[in-house]
Structure 1
Amino acid sequence: MDGAPTPRDPFLRSRGMKIPKHPQITTGRIRGAIKGETYERKECDAVMRMVQDDDVVLELGGGIGYMSTLIATHKKVRTVHTYEANPTLIPYIRSVHEANEVTNVTVHNALLADGPGEPVPFYVRQNFLGSSMDKSIDEDSIVSTEMIEQRDINAVLAELKPTVLVCDIEGAEAHLLPAADLSCLRVAIVELHPQWIGQAGVQAVFDTMHRAGLTYFPKASEAKVVSFRKGW
């Protein structure tokens, strides 16, 4: 009808995907990066170059579901398993998958560790993108504490047999990856956090990849996002 208000689009559009608008997630800088297709650009570029049809992908650090959706909608992968510790992000990740008719991604609200362990506390904050396992950061903003399951990374690798690892776990890469048998991988894409893990942590990641038969691949690496592959 003439003069009727136009319904607002509930989605942002990015790299051919529909990203549901959310009052706490798709705001400010994140909104601009999603719309401008610069959100996690280096990691996206590496994934698009390295992931192949029929791959099994293990993603550590699911974030807002952007990367797993990109992989599932742009590559004919067999499956993606996404691990995200932040429980408040899980419903949103699933909403991103649903909006893009993604059916081959399994989301796990769990932490991978260097062995089996008891559940660990995760501190949910008012701005839940700031939620973390570190209680000391802005304690006044904590609204709840959730206990998050820990799973043995080697048991998960043995069960899933992934061919691709995509890892962005805010510095935990320096101690988790060296504990893992990554020999099943064809490709690994890791966002390093040298500001937290230092030179020794960066070296530990590179040494781990080399032990797994994976070689640094500069053509799919940029700044802190480093890619490794088997063979040349």
Structure 2
Amino acid sequence: MRSFTLRGLTLFLPEAALKGNLERALSSGRYENHEADALLLHLRPGDRVLDLGAGLGFICALAAGVLGEGAVMGVEAGPETVKLARRNLAANGFDGVKVLKGAVVGKGEGQVEFGQRPAFWASALAGPDGWPENAEVIRVPARPLGKLLAKFAPTVISCDIEGGELGVLTEPLPGVRLVVVETHPQVYGPDGVAQIVAALRAQGFEEAEGAKKDTLVFRRP
């Protein structure tokens, strides 16, 4: 098990999970740095953060350090990644943050198929071109966005779900004032990004400070 320190938080993960550029991103502090910068810029006292695609638990832990454990909830589809997120949250003193296992969807109930990859951060639902390379297709609980919003009442959504955001962030977002989303144009192209932007604008969101590269930031005035 390897450990890395980012922004005062310690993240653990198995050696076997260090695929591709992940080790460099963790060692250099670039791991999820755009999302982290945007959240720290915009979080306010009293916010409640729903992290869609919790990964290693980094964004959940960062938000909990600002807002407290009860104000943060994560959702993660990969069964082993859920365990890692919970372990990392506990290791940093945030074991009260709840991380739900399941894939966030715009609509649907029951279970959905999920492509689990050795590189956990690239695991995803099936995209327009089918399953990601080397994916093991498993079934995980479906977590409809509407139910998550009703249950947790977040004011802030952080979203990094490897292309699934196209079907999620085009849904109504009652009560949400801030959205930080890593888009994946390699999955759905610029037209898909435009659909997300148009859907958020239609709900009264405006582009906000902190957007970098494929990470977009929207807030309601």
Q: What range is the shorter-chain TM-score in?
A: 0.7 to 0.9
Residue 191 (structure 1) shift: 0.9
Q: Deviations over 1:72-112 (max 9, x none)?
A: 12444742111111112111111110110013421011122
CA distance in 1, matches of 2:18, 2:67: 25
Residue 128 (structure 1) shift: 4.6
CA distance in 2, matches of 1:19, 1:51: 22
Correspondence for 1:227: 217
Q: Percent identity?
A: 27
Count of residues in correspondence between the two structures? 218
The correspondence for 1:64, drawn from 23, 45, 56, is 56
Matches within 5 A, 1:138-217: 138-139=133-134, 142=136, 145-178=137-170, 180-217=171-208
Mark the runs of 5 or more structure 1 residues left unpaired by the alignment: 1-8
Is the 2:11–2:56 contact (alpha carbons within 8 Å) kept by the matching residues of 1? no
Q: CA RMSD in A?
A: 2.4
Correspondence for 1:110: 102
Q: What residue identity is the alignment partner of 2:184? A: H
Is the 2:13–2:84 contact (alpha carbons within 8 Å) kept by the matching residues of 1? no
Correspondence for 1:98: 90
Mark the runs of 5 or more structure 2 residues left unpaired by the alignment: none
TM-score, structure 1 as length reference: 0.83
Correspondence for 1:5: none
Q: Deviations over 1:170-227 (max 9, x none)?
A: 112122211x22131111111111222223211211122122221111x211111111
CA distance in 2, matches of 1:28, 1:125: 12
Residue 131 (structure 1) shift: 4.2
Is the 2:103–2:141 contact (alpha carbons within 8 Å) kept by the matching residues of 1? yes
Higher CA-based Rg: 1
Residue 117 (structure 1) shift: 2.4
TM-score, structure 2 as length reference: 0.86
